[in-house]
A and B are shown apart, each in its own frame.
Chain A
Amino acid sequence: MEYGQVIANGLMLGALYACIAVGFSLVWGVLNVINMMHGAFIILGGYLAFFAWLHLKINPFVMMLPVAMLMFLLGYLIQYGIINRVIMRPVLTTLTLTFGLDMILYNAMNIAFSATPRRVVLDLGRIDIGGVIMSLDRVAAMVLALALTGLLYLILRTSRTGRAIVAVRMDRDAAALMGIKVNKVYAITFGLGAFMAGACGALVSVVFPITTSVTGLFLGKAFVICVIGGLGTVPGALVGGLALGLIESFAGHWWGPQNAILIGFVIMLVLLVVRPTGLMGKKGYE
């Protein structure tokens, strides 16, 4: 039964990871921009949820949607006002730009909130399924993370805006000729990425301590998941996230948790060389 617990932990972690990576993957796939701010967005969402819980006694699961809306607005404005201006420039430019913006956001959060780790304590009790013990707040976070990922999938599949995003991803120029306002779609896409990050942050605040020093850690996870699962698709991020959750869980079980991150990165490097399009990816996107 030892492995049952490891698998359960891995899946729980994996659901959160999928939710972390899906917004990042969307932005990368559609805009061809690596959003170095993604980790900081998650932590900002976590802080918002934490302070709402601390001062207003609002449950983070309830705060998730309002926080996500706020983050959508922030993301929309950043893309519309700043990144859209250099979107056609080489990779180095957009990457360096979001890196610079990330440093500003990181520094601002460090000063506003200080680096003390904070965590929401809900203590909803735990359940025991055949010897596998899981705390209920984590189960709730996992279910909500999967639901959010599913929601994004539905938005992309069924809504008018979602179809426009997919169209721009496939061919920017053709989409523009069809009357899609590409700049606006870019801003909405980036906003959606921030939306997912903010919602995830609210969930993460229940499971992990929130502190500015882990922004890089979350960003690194998003990289790894995108490379494992493939770029720009929701199922890819889901598969990649669950895979990374399981890999880390087993690696931590066998070789100790301090080596789990290293193993994730090594797997990513190997996959980059062997299969750069990822497990679920299609060819043709750079």
Chain B
Amino acid sequence: MKARLPWILFAIWVLALAATPWVASNYIVKIATFLAMYGAIALSWNFIGGFTGYPSFATAAFVGLGSYSGALLQNAGMFLPVAWLGGALIVAAFAAVIGLMILRMKGHYFAIGSIAIVEVLSQLASSWSGLTGGGEGLNVKFLPGGPDFIGRVFLYTMLVIMLLAFIATVLVDRGRLGFGLRCIQQNEDAADMVGIDVTRYKIYAFVLSAVFCGAIGAAYASWVAYISPTDSFSILLTLKAPVMVLLGGPGTVFGPVVGSALFVLMEETIWAKFLDYNQGVLGLVIVILIFFLPGGLLRVRFNRVRFKKRAA
């Protein structure tokens, strides 16, 4: 009975997000869309950072590459969902190739390699102006149909991507792949020794962490109808992904959803009031998180917290 509770809560959460266009204002719909979007990004990062324990900072590279591929495909006249799917596939292929290169590194080297990929793509996007429009950015065709319709289209698109990422998480968590990835996280050499094909497993995890980000990026580009190198390859986004997962609980199924939801709500409520101090407050949240919630919210044993209080 107890194990079923998170599933019911998750279903309620998804239904609540899906219901917003009928009961709430466009502003709330926008927040719901962001909740779904960041949920998908956090779930994606969880594959490589949570299950496998590789500190990837490549999230912005995947989202940005997805934005640009999706936008270019869409501007070439492709039907929207096809362009999004194309964006996701391009990013997945890119992640497979890059993964083959950088997943051989460990620890800091991997972290730096993944940050460098964001930087290289961002520089490429701003200097290859014939294709990407350079620093001036790229305009994407605006979707006709009025703000209400557009709001719904993108809310449901993001929700579908988040659900797909969630289903993938559940499958990985229960399957062979998840077991292998957890082994790699605990001790890669030992995992190799007992017959896990570590290179292949790590590339699977890396591609899984990329493909949904690519779809999110492509859909986001159509939503905002304008992309630029600095926005698309934002180094802040690359940091937000691990922070959201750390907030919820890395390596768990529901942690990324909880963490990203809390994070977006905090961003909308608290930080909107401190525009000048936005980055500083995020930094402070990170520091507090690391010191007081090292395993994430879902790893806190609430029954024990209550017991301590009663004793005191």
Contacts and interface: CB of A to CB of B under 8 A. Distances in A.
B277 interface: yes
B105 interface: yes
B239 A99 contact: yes
A85 interface: yes
B283 A107 contact: yes
Nearest to B98: A269
A286 B63 CA distance: 29
Contact of A269 (B111, B120, B243, B278): B120
Contacts of A266: 120
Given A216-B235, A262-B127, A104 B283 contact: yes
B173 to A, nearest CB: 20
B101 interface: yes
A259 B239 CA distance: 26
- Measured as residues with beta carbon below 8 angstroms from the partner, the interface class of chain B is 35 or more
A100 B115 contact: no
Contacts of B102: 269, 272-273
Interface stretch (B75-83, B155-163, B285-293): B285-293
Nearest to B278: A107
A111 B274 CA distance: 12
Nearest to B104: A273
Contacts of A265: 116, 119-120, 123
A276 B284 contact: no
B109 A276 contact: yes
Interface string B243-285: 1001000000000000000000000000000001111101111
- Measured as residues with beta carbon below 8 angstroms from the partner, the interface class of chain A is 35 or more
A89 interface: yes
Contact of B123 (A82, A102, A106, A261): A261
B286 A272 contact: no
A89 B293 CA distance: 13
Interface string B43-58: 0000001000101000
Contacts of B6: none
Interface stretch (A90-98, A123-131, A137-145, A156-164): A90-98
Contacts of B176: none
A181 to B, nearest CB: 23
Contacts of B246: 92, 96
Nearest to A260: B123
A34 B112 CA distance: 9
A249 interface: no
Given A96-B286, A103-B280, A107-B280, A91 B104 contact: no
Interface of A: 28, 32, 34, 82, 85-86, 89-93, 95-97, 99-104, 106-108, 110-111, 216, 220, 223, 227, 258-259, 261-262, 265-266, 268-269, 272-273, 276, 286
Given A96-B286, A100-B283, 8 more contacts: A92-B246, A93-B294, A100-B287, A102-B283, A107-B280, A223-B112, A223-B116, A262-B124
6 cross-chain pairs, A with B, having the tightest CB-CB distances, nearest first:
A100-B286, A103-B283, A107-B280, A104-B283, A92-B55, A262-B123
